[in-house]
């Protein structure tokens, strides 16, 4: 056997060993699908020099206007672009909200398990390998589909989620937002040998140390930073929930905001959403913890406006993560730029009052508007002709997110405004807090142990080793659901 062939074979064997844990539950038989493009999904060749040896697939709805957003969606190990297209739900919202989706695909020629190289500096850093190939796909979409370069987003599952975080760090000037599902912090592992350890428990770094990994990925860049959504199942034993905590610490630090959420609410599928606002009060980082879910992308099959996807291997029935991710990025507001002739976004959207069941908002008038479209959590709820509205029938003590778009005389909605979050009053008793050692928290029934570590009941946040030397403050809200509140416990 020639030495060059032997070296390639040894690299593939080493890669398989390093990623054995990540792909242990992503079996090729269950997760892989034929590489042939599904109906509507088209393979694109000649998109660039392609240093990462990736394949490009794309879905572009018919009649899409110029300057529409672009989403890049990265599959997990042993999966294909076709699997992600078929099961994730992105085509549904591309059709209804108006944007293109690019589905990069890696193969066994790159990695024995078809994993993106989130652990390899030759593949996941600026100007290198697979990361550079993905950015070339973005450039192709801008030139051939007319995609808006200011509204490019990237999302991925598992190894694709790890690559997503790396892309956000290496190319914050390309991606306006990202969504990491069951994935890893940016630059969590920088070698094949470190990959498995990162999956089961990333290094116990401070938020600043995690943030430094992002800042080092593109030295000298000072913002704006991408908005980041983080999806994680509490029963994921392939990529452990500690990675979601590290991702939150990493990106809140990059944004210069604390690790205490600005608001927390409950969504379908036993999902808890925690929102971390920037200095202007707009969501910068959001975490979605899906209680009891294992390793995979949460979907919610059905025809409802907030449902999407198909259950399959590692597409798990819980909640339509694609819908909530799209709303977080602002894709639901019409998806058009004022340069295409549509009306600009209303400014000055603000909350003027709340009760237990109502939320009142106002905004600045837009010249040429015949009416306005008011969206609550991505769904249109009203069409006022004035510049204020009171939304009714809400639930006490619940956070809602609103955007507003101006509508012209033909009924065409313009660009959606910046999102504002409203929390109705009331809704239960104040949160209770306890400060104690990990041993005492377990003994009191507020946490439990697994593999020598302690996890908060409900949130499943990793509290560290099971001993009397580590102390945490736990906040309970709602009853039976505990979160770490070391930085301060407020109701």
Q: Which residues are catalytic?
A: 158
23 SS3 class? helix
Q: What is the CA radius of gyration of the chain?
A: 22
Question: Cα separation of 200 and 203, whole Å?
Answer: 10
* Beta strand pairing call for 283-290 and 271-277: antiparallel
* Beta strand pairing call for 42-44 and 55-59: antiparallel
Q: With contact defined as beta carbons under 8 Å apart, do 248 and 193 qualify? A: no
Q: At a CB cut-off of 8 Å and minimum separation 6, what does 212 contact?
A: none
161 SS3 class? helix
Q: With contact defined as beta carbons under 8 Å apart, do 369 and 405 qualify? A: no
Extract the tokens encoding 456.
């908060």
H or E stretch at 3: helix 3-18
Dihedrals φ, ψ of 98, to 5°? 90, 80
Query: 3-state SS of 218-248?
Result: CCCCCCCCCEEEEEEECCCCCCCCHHHHHHH
Extract the tokens encoding 474.
């736990």
Q: With contact defined as beta carbons under 8 Å apart, do 31 and 79 qualify? A: yes
Question: Cα separation of 226 and 152, whole Å?
Answer: 10
- Which among 100, 148, 104 has a CA at the least distance from the CA of 124? 104
Task: List helix spans (H) across 171-320.
Answer: 192-200, 207-215, 242-255
Q: With contact defined as beta carbons under 8 Å apart, do 152 and 70 qualify? A: yes
Question: Cα separation of 125 and 286, whole Å?
Answer: 24
Question: Cα separation of 329 and 344, whole Å?
Answer: 17
Question: Cα separation of 317 and 296, whole Å?
Answer: 10
| The dihedral sign for the CA sequence 188, 199, 265, 207 | negative
């Amino acid at each position: 056997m020639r030495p060059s062939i032997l070296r390639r074979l040894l690299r593939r064997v080493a890669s398989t060993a390093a990623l054995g844990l990540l792909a242990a539950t992503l079996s090729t038989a269950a997760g892989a699908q034929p590489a042939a493009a599904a109906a509507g999904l088209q393979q694109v060749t000649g998109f660039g020099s392609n240093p990462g040896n990736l394949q490009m697939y794309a879905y572009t709805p018919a009649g899409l206007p110029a300057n529409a957003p672009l989403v890049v969606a990265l599959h997990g190990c042993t999966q294909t672009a076709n699997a992600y297209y078929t099961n994730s739900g992105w085509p549904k919202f591309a059709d209804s909200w108006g944007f293109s989706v690019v589905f990069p695909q890696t193969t066994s020629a790159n990695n024995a398990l078809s994993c993106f190289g989130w652990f390899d500096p030759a593949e996941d850093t600026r100007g290198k390998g697979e990361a550079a190939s993905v950015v070339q796909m973005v450039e192709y979409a801008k030139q051939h589909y007319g995609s808006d370069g200011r509204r490019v987003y990237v999302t991925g599952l598992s190894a694709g989620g790890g690559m997503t975080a790396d892309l956000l760090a290496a190319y914050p000037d390309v991606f306006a937002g990202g969504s990491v599902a069951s994935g890893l912090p940016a630059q969590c592992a920088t070698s094949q040998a470190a990959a498995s350890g990162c999956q089961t428990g990333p290094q116990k770094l401070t938020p600043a140390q995690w943030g430094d990994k992002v800042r080092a990925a593109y030295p000298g860049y000072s913002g704006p930073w991408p908005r980041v959504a983080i999806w994680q199942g509490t029963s994921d034993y392939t990529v452990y929930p500690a990675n979601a905590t590290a991702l939150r610490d990493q990106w809140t630090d990059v944004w210069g905001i604390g690790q205490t959420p600005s608001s927390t609410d409950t969504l379908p599928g036993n999902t808890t959403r925690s929102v971390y606002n920037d200095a202007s009060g707009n969501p910068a980082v959001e975490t979605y913890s899906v209680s009891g879910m294992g390793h995979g992308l949460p979907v919610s099959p059905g025809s409802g406006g907030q449902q999407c996807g198909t259950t399959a291997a590692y597409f798990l029935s819980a909640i339509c993560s694609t819908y909530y991710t799209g709303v977080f990025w602002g894709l639901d507001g019409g998806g058009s730029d004022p340069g295409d002739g549509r009306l600009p976004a209303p400014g000055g959207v603000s909350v003027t009052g709340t009760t237990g069941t109502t939320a009142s908002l106002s905004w600045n008038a837009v010249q040429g508007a015949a009416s306005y479209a008011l969206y609550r959590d991505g769904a249109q709820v009203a069409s006022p002709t004035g510049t204020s509205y009171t939304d009714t029938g809400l639930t006490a003590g619940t956070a809602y997110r609103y955007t507003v778009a101006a509508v012209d005389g033909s009924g065409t909605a313009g660009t959606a405004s910046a999102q504002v979050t409203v929390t109705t009053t009331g809704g239960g008793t104040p949160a209770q807090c306890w400060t104690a050692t990990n041993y005492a928290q377990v003994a009191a029934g507020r946490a439990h142990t697994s593999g020598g570590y302690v996890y908060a009941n409900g949130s499943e946040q990793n509290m560290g080793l099971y001993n009397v030397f580590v102390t945490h403050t736990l906040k309970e809200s709602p009853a039976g659901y505990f979160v770490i509140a070391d930085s301060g416990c407020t109701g």
